[in-house]
């Protein structure tokens, strides 16, 4: 029996989702509870979340993947990601800290660089590189893409 279940987020989950996003220190912009999938424990408490959000026209982005620290290593992020990407039929993007690239490789994401990066992400990448060079952050950013395979 699984330790958690997945379900679509409800409006009343939004404060918990926002708090979790801030706790794990990931980008808090573009949060809309209607796009979120949440993992809940047997007591109904949110232990993880994620969303697919539209970005700059027709881009779709896997975002806001967050897991309560005490629940890490128990398959929560994997379950959320697999459920979210199973719904997608086209290309899917994400941005992540460099050390997480290996994790997202497992889901079919590949790192993009140079002209392969959509304009929105290029601007973000340049800004993060500047912050990294100025030593205001300790890690760079990856832009990754997953191309769905036809069945």
CATH code: domain of residue 9: 3.40.630.30
Residue 150: pLDDT band by 50, 70, 90 thresholds?
A: very low
- Residue whose token pair is 């290029």: 122
CA distance 40 to 67: 11
Residues 48 and 19 grouped into a single domain:
yes
Range of the domain at 140: 89-151
**Same domain for 96 and 49:** no
Residue 44 has pLDDT above 80, yes or no: yes
Could you report the per-residue pLDDT of 63-85, keeping only the tens digit for each?
Answer: 999 999 999 999 999 999 999 99
pLDDT in tens, 46-67: 999 999 999 877 899 999 999 9
Number of separate domains in the chain: 2
Asked if 68 and 93 sit in the same domain, the reply is no
How many C-beta atoms lie closer than 10 Å to residue 76's C-beta? 24
Say whether pTM exceeds 0.85: yes
Q: Does 3 share its domain with 74?
A: yes
Is residue 47 a contact partner of residue 40, using CB atoms and an 8 Å limit? yes
- Please tell me whether residues 22 and 70 are part of one structural domain: yes
pLDDT (0 to 100) of residue 121? 79
82 and 149 share one domain: no
Strands 110-112 and 59-67: unpaired
Distance of CA 145 to the CA centre of its chain: 12
> Residue 130 has what pLDDT?
67
Same domain, 5 and 69: yes
Q: Please check whether residues 93 and 68 belong to one and the same domain.
A: no
Above 70 in pLDDT, residue 137? no
- Residue 10, pLDDT > 80, answer yes
Residue 138 pLDDT more than 90?
no
Mean pLDDT of all residues in 88-111: 93
- 9 and 44 inside one domain: yes
For the chain, the average pLDDT equals: 89
Neighbour order of strands in the sheet with 59-67: 4-8, 36-41, 46-55, 59-67, 92-97, 141-146, 110-112
């Amino acid at each position: 029996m699984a330790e958690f279940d997945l379900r679509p987020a409800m409006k009343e989950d939004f404060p918990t989702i926002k708090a979790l996003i801030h706790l794990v220190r990931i980008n808090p912009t573009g949060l809309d509870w209607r796009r979120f999938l949440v993992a809940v424990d047997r007591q109904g408490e949110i232990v993880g979340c994620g969303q697919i959000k539209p970005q700059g026209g027709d881009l779709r982005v896997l975002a806001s993947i967050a897991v309560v620290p005490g629940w890490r290593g128990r398959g929560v992020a994997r379950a959320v990601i697999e459920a979210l990407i199973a719904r997608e039929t086209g290309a899917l993007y994400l941005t992540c800290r460099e050390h997480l690239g290996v994790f997202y490789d497992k889901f079919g994401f590949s790192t993009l660089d140079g002209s392969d990066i959509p304009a929105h992400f290029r601007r973000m990448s340049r800004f993060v590189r500047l912050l990294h060079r100025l030593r205001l952050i300790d890690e760079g950013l990856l832009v990754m893409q997953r191309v769905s395979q036809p069945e």
